[in-house]
């Protein structure tokens, strides 16, 4: 049977690998983002120069192998943004998959083809990767279920890396049942092909730059340079200045500039991109930002705070919590659970504590608040839980996002800088600008950002323990229009990253649930679970999201 590619989800629609003929996924079909090794197939990573400079894989990636052994049949290799370094889904070289919920809307990325393939019904489920939101964002924009697991919970063997200390293998499906069924296969016991849950992967998470880079990772010296990584990058925006831009210009060839990583008008727009984000931490303007300031501004900077008045204001903003929601503060909840789950009976995988992130909800576009609130009401009703508002980011979500982008960018250049210098690849303008910015991070002191990440990780893991969850929007609004200006796209990207950086920084699992939005356009509601609580989170969501 010919694979349906009318939405342009697949770079290689003719690829097909039959499953084992038995197992829990027998009779189902899946596709893979074009970054997974498939025996005999050359992965493009969304860039023709990557495709040119790499040969076919000798064997399947570990995750692909597991799914085939469980009976699923692989159909096609799906499009990705170039080297996975975008959340938009627009590929300069191979085109943009069509969002089934709106042909004039971007699909989101970088797992764009994976999300479109599921949303269009071409396959039952799909593999993708998620470093900074690349499963969660396209899933939300395309109206499907997406899952980013605990960092290291699923093997990255045979997957082209972006930033190993943040990379995860995720998956997308059309139902919570299939999301869980796929998770049971991918999160099962370690197979003979190796697993990310090894000492090297642990080191990669704890010490950026020290991960074992399979494939085109940087050489020893470059890896050493990236070991000095994590801390004081220029916060002025995504544009390199002075000598760094000059160096990057030698290494990068933009598809429309003939050599400069970013030229003329594009560079001017890029310089304005991050400047459009409010310095207090919110991309929203007007009333929403004012409300966010009220919610965040009064927080004790040394603690996770959730006092009564702020809870009430957050409840007014969300319109979903009754006056008793905040009766138990976050501190009391953590004290009762010791930051971990209370001892449970065997087989009890329920969540017993739910928190709402008011800083995240303040980023939601005004005409989307009521739709997401109804999604929250549905989740609370299904779980028979009342949620308490908890301000977990007193530093501001923009500060968190800046730290994430800095650490991720340094990792990215450490991983791909050598290949870029050697092969001189042609990138689309926005991707070229991003790599130019990442090049400027090499050799800098990133310890302040790394220390903030450590504090964030401890804070969130202590809050959630094993039986807690944090509810927030996946994205601030529906998918932006195709062809939107770079300033608008960067504002959407920055707001989305303020929401997605929590799980990335702390290595936590996150599921995104489709919620109907204005004009029928999809939105996403996310639930973050405790570290290592992947099957608990997936099982609980399958039970309560009816």
Both tokens assigned to 492:
């959407």
In the 8-state DSSP scheme, what is residue 36?
B
Between vectors from CA 255 to CA 11 and to CA 268, what angle results, nearest 5°? 125
Peptide bond into 87 cis (omega under 30): no
Residue 462's Cβ-count burial label (10 Å; 0-12, 13-18, 19+) is: middle
Show which residues are catalytic: 33, 110, 134
CA neighbor of 186 nearest in space, from 537, 535, 500: 535
- Measured between alpha carbons, how far is 127 from 495 in angstroms, rounded to an integer? 25
- Measured between alpha carbons, how far is 465 from 528 in angstroms, rounded to an integer? 11
Q: How many CB atoms lie within 10 A of CB 259?
A: 11
Taking the C-alpha atoms of 529, 132, 297 and 463 in order, what is their torsion angle to the nearest 10 degrees?
20
Q: Cα Rg for the chain, rounded, in angstroms?
A: 22
In the 8-state DSSP scheme, what is residue 213?
-
Rounded (10°) angle between helices 220-227 and 397-423:
160
C-alpha distance across the termini of the chain, in Å: 33
């Amino acid at each position: 049977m010919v694979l349906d590619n009318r939405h342009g989800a697949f770079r290689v629609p003719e690829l097909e690998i039959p499953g084992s003929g038995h197992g829990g996924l027998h009779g189902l079909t899946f596709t893979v983002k074009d970054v997974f090794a498939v025996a005999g197939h050359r992965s493009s990573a969304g860039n023709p120069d990557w495709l040119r400079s790499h040969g076919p894989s000798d064997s399947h990636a570990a995750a692909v192998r597991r799914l085939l052994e469980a009976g699923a049949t692989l159909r096609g290799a799906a499009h990705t943004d170039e080297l996975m370094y975008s959340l938009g889904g627009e590929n300069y070289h191979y085109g943009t998959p069509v969002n089934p919920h709106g042909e004039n809307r971007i699909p989101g990325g970088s797992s764009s083809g994976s999300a479109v393939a599921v949303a269009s019904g071409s396959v039952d489920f799909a593999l993708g990767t998620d470093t900074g939101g690349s499963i969660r964002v396209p899933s939300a924009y395309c109206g499907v279920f997406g899952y980013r697991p605990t960092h290291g919970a699923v093997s990255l063997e045979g997957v082209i890396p972006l930033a190993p200390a943040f990379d995860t293998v995720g998956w997308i499906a059309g139902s919570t049942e299939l999301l869980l069924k796929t998770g049971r296969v991918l999160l099962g016991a370690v197979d003979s092909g190796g697993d990310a849950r090894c000492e090297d992967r642990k080191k990669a998470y704890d010490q950026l730059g020290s991960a074992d880079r399979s494939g085109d990772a940087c050489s020893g010296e470059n890896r050493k340079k990236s070991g000095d990584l994590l801390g004081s990058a220029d916060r002025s925006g995504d544009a390199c200045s002075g000598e760094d831009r000059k160096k990057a210009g030698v290494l990068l060839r933009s598809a429309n500039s003939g050599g400069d990583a970013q030229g003329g008008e594009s560079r001017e727009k890029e310089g304005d991109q991050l400047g459009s984000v409010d310095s207090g931490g919110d991309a929203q303007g007007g009333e929403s930002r004012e409300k966010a300031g009220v919610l965040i501004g009064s927080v004790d900077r040394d603690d996770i705070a959730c006092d009564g008045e702020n809870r009430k204001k957050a409840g007014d903003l969300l319109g979903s919590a009754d006056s008793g929601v905040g009766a138990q503060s976050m501190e009391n909840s953590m004290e009762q659970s010791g930051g971990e789950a209370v001892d449970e009976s065997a087989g009890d995988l329920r969540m017993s504590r739910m928190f709402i992130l008011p800083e995240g909800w303040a980023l939601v576009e005004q005409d989307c608040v009521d739709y997401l609130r109804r999604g929250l009401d549905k989740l609370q009703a299904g779980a028979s839980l009342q949620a308490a508002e908890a301000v977990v980011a007193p530093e501001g979500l923009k500060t968190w996002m800046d730290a994430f982008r800095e650490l991720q960018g340094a990792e990215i250049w450490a991983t791909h800088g050598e290949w870029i210098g050697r092969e001189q690849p042609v990138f689309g303008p926005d991707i070229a600008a991003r790599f130019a910015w990442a090049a400027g991070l090499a050799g800098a002191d990133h310890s302040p950002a790394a220390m903030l990440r450590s504090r964030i990780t401890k804070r969130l893991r202590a809050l959630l323990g094993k039986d807690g969850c944090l509810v927030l929007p996946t994205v601030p609004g529906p998918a932006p229009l195709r062809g939107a200006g770079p300033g608008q796209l960067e504002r959407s990207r920055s707001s989305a990253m303020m929401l997605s950086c929590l799980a990335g920084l702390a290595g936590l699992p996150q599921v995104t649930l489709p919620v109907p939005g204005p004009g029928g356009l999809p939105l996403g509601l996310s639930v973050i679970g405790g570290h290592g609580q992947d099957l608990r989170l997936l099982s609980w969501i399958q039970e309560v999201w009816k």
